[in-house]
Amino acid sequence: MGRRARRRREKRRTTKVLVEAEVEVAEGLGPARERREKKRPTRPSRRLRYPRILTGVAAAAVAATILIVLSLAPWGNDGEATPSEFIVPTPRPADIPSQGTTLGSPDAPLTIVEYSDFLCPFCTDAALETVPQIEEEYVVTGRVKLVWKQFPLPQLHGEAAIVAAVASECAAEQNAFWEYHDMLFLNNKSVTFNIENLKRFAQDLGLDTEKFNVCLDEGKYMDKVAADYDEADRRGATGTPTFFVGQTMVVGAKPYGEFKKAIDDELAKLGETSEAE
């Protein structure tokens, strides 16, 4: 029995399967199942999803890297700094001697000492309006020399006042104090005095930037600034700007006429003193 009976059973089973399949097709169940299977959402396997997210992260990393590299690349200036947007001062006549923070002939009979702050509005008015007239009438003619002393007031003008004072001393080290002084006053309303801009001022004035930057970064003249401040305090200065025209104290951005009177009086006194000697 064995072999024949088994063959008959297999034949019956195969026939049954074929008949069932024919019935399904005839009743339209086949396409329906296909549609059902199509409708079922095909979720990518976890294995496939992770690479897709990693691709997204990689794309973001590449984009950010390109942006950062481009931002560091010099653009259209062959590696030089971007063209300055600062107001650059007009150079003073070359025949006015200057040494450190002193402007004018060392032999000038009268000395005007100014205790001032690069961020104070009244100091700015004095520096841009009054002092140039004093320079023109008295300094160029060798009768007066101007001496700048640092009197930064951080409580009024922020820490930047001290940093600017140190920066101006770094410029003085390269005998460019007065150019730097003008640069600071011309730009203090439009430019923030942070380290970067203070360095760019020096660069725009053609200073030795390497030397200047080291000087500023080290805060090389902090002690000098503090000493000037103490001196102003000792001499009774309470606000900025405070001028000492000889022995006469002039406080604030006074009109030129007031300075002129004080200077003439002091020069006259000196003349009397010289004659007396």
The answer to whether the beta carbons of residues 175 and 211 sit under 8 Å apart is: no
Q: How far is residue 238's CA from residue 246's CA, in Å, rounded to a whole number?
A: 18
Residue 126 near residue 240, CB atoms below 8 Å: no
3-state secondary structure 161-179: HHHHHHHHHHHHHCCCHHH
- Of 4-12, 19-27, 145-153, 191-199: span binding other proteins (CB under 8 A): 191-199
Indicate the residue among 13 and 49 with the shorter CB distance to other proteins.
49
* CA-atom Rg of the chain in angstroms: 41
Cis peptide before 241 (omega within 30 of 0): yes
Whether the Cβ atoms of residue 196 and residue 96 lie closer than 8 Å to each other: no
Distance in Å, CB of 266 to other proteins, minimum: 39
Q: How far is the CB of 192 from other proteins (least distance, A)?
A: 4
Q: Tell which one of 191, 222, 249, 267 touches other proteins (CB under 8 A).
A: 191
Binding mask 171-190 for other proteins (x = CB under 8 A): -------------------x
Task: Find the binder of other proteins among 174, 197, 203, 248 (CB under 8 A).
Answer: 197
CA dihedral sign of residues 181, 187, 193, 194: negative
Is 111 in a helix, a strand, or coil? strand
CB of 228 vs other proteins, minimal distance in Å: 24
Token reading at 222 = 């902090």
Among 40, 75, 90, 155, binds other proteins (CB under 8 A): 75
| Residue 161 Cβ vs other proteins, minimum distance, rounded to whole Å | 12
The three-class DSSP label of residue 243 is strand
Residue 270 CB, shortest distance to other proteins, in Å, is 44
* 217 near other proteins, rule: CB under 8 A: no
Kindly identify the residues of this chain, within the stretch 3-62, that bind other proteins according to CB under 8 A: 43, 46, 49-50, 52-53, 56-57, 59-61
Residues 121/219/217/178 CA torsion (nearest 10 deg): 50
| Contact footprint for other proteins (CB under 8 A) | 43, 46, 49-50, 52-53, 56-57, 59-61, 63-64, 67-68, 70-71, 73, 75-76, 81-82, 85, 158, 190-192, 194-197
